[in-house]
Structure 1
Amino acid sequence: MDVISISRRNLELPNWPQYDDSEKVALLRALEQSGWWRFGGQEVSEFEKEFAEYHGARNALAVTSGTHALELALQVIGVGPGSEVIVPAFTFISSSQAVQRLGAVAVPVDVDPDTYNIDVRAAEAAVTEKTRAIMPVHMAGLLADLDALAKLSADASVPLVHDAAHAQGAEWRGTPLGELSTIAAYSFQNGKLMTAGEGGAVTFSDSHEYETAFLRHSCGRPPTDRVYQHKMSGSNFRMNEFSASVLRAQLARLGGQIDVREQRWPVLSGLLAGIPGVLPQGTDDRCTRNPHYMAMFRVPGITVEQRRQVVDELISHGIPAFVAFRAIYRTDAFWEMAAPTTDLDTIAARCPNVEAITGDCIWLHHRTLLGTEEQMTAVAEIVADVVAKVVVS
């Protein structure tokens, strides 16, 4: 029997999202309480307390999506027309769109070819008098170089806003991200490490920033307002009680799932590294807890068509595979509003690592890493067979 047949027989990776009676009990609890929005029930408020505590933050604010979390976080620190925000060019488009929808310019910079995280030297070179924030994206849960970023932030007097959509539960030198950062934004979209289908959160260490964010996420109204004060401009980014109840159950099992993925990634990564032509995402020992939102690897030299074929083949064998993010400056959306004056070719020339990674990287959903060690071996065997057939032959 060939390798593919053996591997397919043993695969059956865990499903996602995962749930049990905890979510059912939570939803019923939300259903039977006095109200179904955050000012009539308790689920959103309780989730915020639990999420903040888990991440070592003073406060957390639950919102409608990870994209809204980024937009709100940026607005709180004054990002708007006439300002710039430095973002890695290799990321999901929300990282730049949150900036641009506030009327600010997103300035794409290169990333490290090993970790896929923001290149701090490139970020430093991009700082101008208009820079209002630097936004590292913690790719696949691996925290960017927080030591170097903290120094850059202090030297340039520019705050950091962490796009932590992939990084629930991440720690740097043993300290949770929420305890280290001024503001971090998280996502609970359906594929994320914990989910209610959609949703997001922002963690704060500054009480004034949290209070401002609360007003802006609720149409400018204080929580006890009964006379329509609307103290500042805002929108309705409020999370509903049902989503919060599910997220409380999801948060309760997050730590255990991270433990499993932390055990499985070294196994899978080591096996992938042994495949000719395959380079798994690197690590940083200072990131002492990596939740592993993705299992990412590169296949240098692969063509666009070959990569699509590899992904299709992996999916056909039960592996949840995807092509990597397109460089943000190579999307139509990036140029639609608040676009930089720099042209595409000039930006691309400044981002050689992004140009390479966006063309040769493949990622596997984190449910892959919830499988057994035997399944990690099966996944690697399938990847080896498919790459050899599609790329090498």
Structure 2
Amino acid sequence: MSNSPDAGIEFPAWPQHDDAERTALLRALDQGQWWRVGGSEVDEFEREFAEYHGAGHALAVTNGTHALELALQVLDVGPGAEVIVPAFTFISSSQAVQRLGAVAVPVDVDPDTYCLDVAAAEAAVTSRTSAIMPVHMAGQFADMDRLDKLSTSTGVPVLQDAAHAHGAHWRGKRVGELGSIATFSFQNGKLMTAGEGGAVLFEDEAQWEKAFVLHSCGRPKGDRGYFHLTSGSNFRMNEFSAAVLRAQLGRLDSQIATRQARWPVLSALLAGIDGVVPQTVDPRSDRNPSYMAMFRMPGVTEERRNAVVDELVRRGIPAFMAFRAVYRTQAFWETGAPDLTTEELAARCPVSEEITRDCVWLHHRVLLGTEEQLHRLAAVVADVVAGA
């Protein structure tokens, strides 16, 4: 590969923090109660996060994977159930299902948006299907109009995996206004972060109450007599994480505005590179927070894609190989896999097979940089792709 141009681009750091986080941490420290039962930070964060996303209720939890597990439990997913998941996604989507003893059923994704293919999901629905779990990939909504119709016609609830979609809008509606449970992650790379953490949005108060009991060792809110009602687990968020997340939420709008202005610029630059095709944004996804800047190199081998990523990283670009199709991992087959072989699933998911091989993503902090930095970034990508 060519050694020029070299990147040398000082993209903004991630995570970002300032005195807002310092003040919040001291506020949590000085209140003298560091867990949610006695403190106020988690309660306040839940209220603020629910209001921001247009939901009736939010429940803060330990991480995004636990958020998925908890939401699935609220939907009574367990042994004997099936849950439809995208084949192309981070493996938490399938593992959350499998850890509950249910079967994860991977289906293919759209070649342009990389989100769940609704027709493929419809074809996979059986009498055992208990949930359909779209992932809003990189902040781009799955087709919620068609998913809502599919849910209505089959009676199967939709569970939105919105780990990439903090602050996103679909046709002007916020995540919490779309009539289905939604989960979020606050892992270190996410659009707002406390290192780890997660949340579940509910419109239905009874579902929220059920989730609260499950996430607090089966213990109802306000219980002092250890009257554990069910076999839950401990998914409670601590006060320090909630305090940091309240500060992170306060700057989310300005960051989304910057990324939303920058992605069309970078997307156009990437589209101008021979052999590069950026992720398409469905215009109905009218506020896309751009969790990742994703692009494909159709037709390349996985080895060539990996070489491109390695060279971009060597030149200082925060580049990553795309997720591997979930059935292409050893972990997927440990438990709760469908009664199909890897190759049978691959034949059903040709787009996911291609994206596994040819997709690259860039950390969203590049979209917090300047337009001049994006032009320099695109020049590096063009050089690396041409030399690969």
Q: TM-score, with normalisation over the residues of structure 1?
A: 0.97
Question: Which of 10, 33, 37 is the matching residue for 1:35?
Answer: 33
Runs of 4+ in 1 over 6 A off after TM superposition: none
Indicate the residue corresponding to 2:194 in structure 1: 196
Provide the C-alpha distance between the structure 2 equivalents of 1:215 and 1:327, rounded to a whole number of angstroms. 34
Provide the C-alpha distance between the structure 1 equivalents of 2:353 and 2:195, rounded to a whole number of angstroms. 31
Indicate the residue corresponding to 1:337 in structure 2: 335
Is residue 149 of structure 2 the alignment partner of residue 151 of structure 1? yes
Please give the secondary structure, in 2, of the residue aligned with 1:49.
Answer: helix
Q: Quick one: percent identity of the two aligned structures?
A: 69
Please give the secondary structure, in 1, of the residue aligned with 2:312.
Answer: helix
Please state how far the C-alpha of 1:8 moved relative to its aligned partner: 2.5
Superposition pairs of residues 1-393 of structure 1, within 5 angstroms: 4-5=4-5, 8-9=7-8, 11-390=9-388
Letter in 2 for 1:77: L
Asked if the contact 1:13–1:318 (Cα under 8 Å) also holds between the matched residues in 2, the reply is no
Please state how far the C-alpha of 1:337 moved relative to its aligned partner: 1.1
Please state how far the C-alpha of 1:3 moved relative to its aligned partner: 9.3
Letter in 2 for 1:364: L
Gaps of 5+ in 2: none
Deviation string 1:308-327 (CA, Å, 9 cap, x unpaired) is 22111111222110000000
Letter in 1 for 2:219: R
Provide the C-alpha distance between the structure 2 equivalents of 1:301 and 1:348, rounded to a whole number of angstroms. 17
Provide the C-alpha distance between the structure 1 equivalents of 2:122 and 2:4, rounded to a whole number of angstroms. 47
Asked if the contact 1:4–1:385 (Cα under 8 Å) also holds between the matched residues in 2, the reply is yes
Please give the secondary structure, in 2, of the residue aligned with 1:356.
Answer: helix
Provide the C-alpha distance between the structure 1 equivalents of 2:342 and 2:300, rounded to a whole number of angstroms. 23
Provide the C-alpha distance between the structure 2 equivalents of 1:65 and 1:172, rounded to a whole number of angstroms. 24
Provide the C-alpha distance between the structure 2 equivalents of 1:134 and 1:21, rounded to a whole number of angstroms. 41
Asked if the contact 2:181–2:202 (Cα under 8 Å) also holds between the matched residues in 1, the reply is yes
Deviation string 1:240-272 (CA, Å, 9 cap, x unpaired) is 000000000000001110000000000000000
Letter in 1 for 2:66: H
Letter in 2 for 1:242: F
Asked if the contact 1:62–1:239 (Cα under 8 Å) also holds between the matched residues in 2, the reply is yes
Deviation string 1:290-319 (CA, Å, 9 cap, x unpaired) is 010000000112222222221111112221
Please give the secondary structure, in 2, of the residue aligned with 1:132.
Answer: strand
Provide the C-alpha distance between the structure 1 equivalents of 2:62 and 2:78, rounded to a whole number of angstroms. 21
Number of equivalent positions: 387
Deviation string 1:310-363 (CA, Å, 9 cap, x unpaired) is 111111222110000000001011000112111111111000100101110000
Letter in 2 for 1:15: A
Please give the secondary structure, in 2, of the residue aligned with 1:290.
Answer: coil
Letter in 2 for 1:93: I
Please state how far the C-alpha of 1:126 moved relative to its aligned partner: 0.2
Provide the C-alpha distance between the structure 1 equivalents of 2:4 and 2:71, rounded to a whole number of angstroms. 47
Deviation string 1:149-173 (CA, Å, 9 cap, x unpaired) is 0000000100000000000001011
Provide the C-alpha distance between the structure 2 equivalents of 1:301 and 1:196, rounded to a whole number of angstroms. 38
Provide the C-alpha distance between the structure 1 equivalents of 2:68 and 2:289, rounded to a whole number of angstroms. 20
Letter in 1 for 2:353: E
Provide the C-alpha distance between the structure 1 equivalents of 2:28 and 2:78, rounded to a whole number of angstroms. 37
Q: TM-score, with normalisation over the residues of structure 2?
A: 0.98
Please give the secondary structure, in 1, of the residue aligned with 2:7.
Answer: helix
Letter in 1 for 2:324: R
Provide the C-alpha distance between the structure 2 equivalents of 1:379 and 1:145, rounded to a whole number of angstroms. 31
Provide the C-alpha distance between the structure 2 equivalents of 1:12 and 1:71, rounded to a whole number of angstroms. 38
Provide the C-alpha distance between the structure 2 equivalents of 1:105 and 1:223, rounded to a whole number of angstroms. 32
Provide the C-alpha distance between the structure 1 equivalents of 2:179 and 2:341, rounded to a whole number of angstroms. 33
Please state how far the C-alpha of 1:34 moved relative to its aligned partner: 2.6
Please give the secondary structure, in 2, of the residue aligned with 1:203.
Answer: strand
Please state how far the C-alpha of 1:181 moved relative to its aligned partner: 3.1
Gaps of 5+ in 1: none
Please give the secondary structure, in 1, of the residue aligned with 2:355.
Answer: helix
Deviation string 1:181-237 (CA, Å, 9 cap, x unpaired) is 320000000000000000000000111110000000000111211110001110000
Deviation string 1:85-117 (CA, Å, 9 cap, x unpaired) is 000000000000000000000000000000000
Provide the C-alpha distance between the structure 2 equivalents of 1:150 and 1:4, rounded to a whole number of angstroms. 49
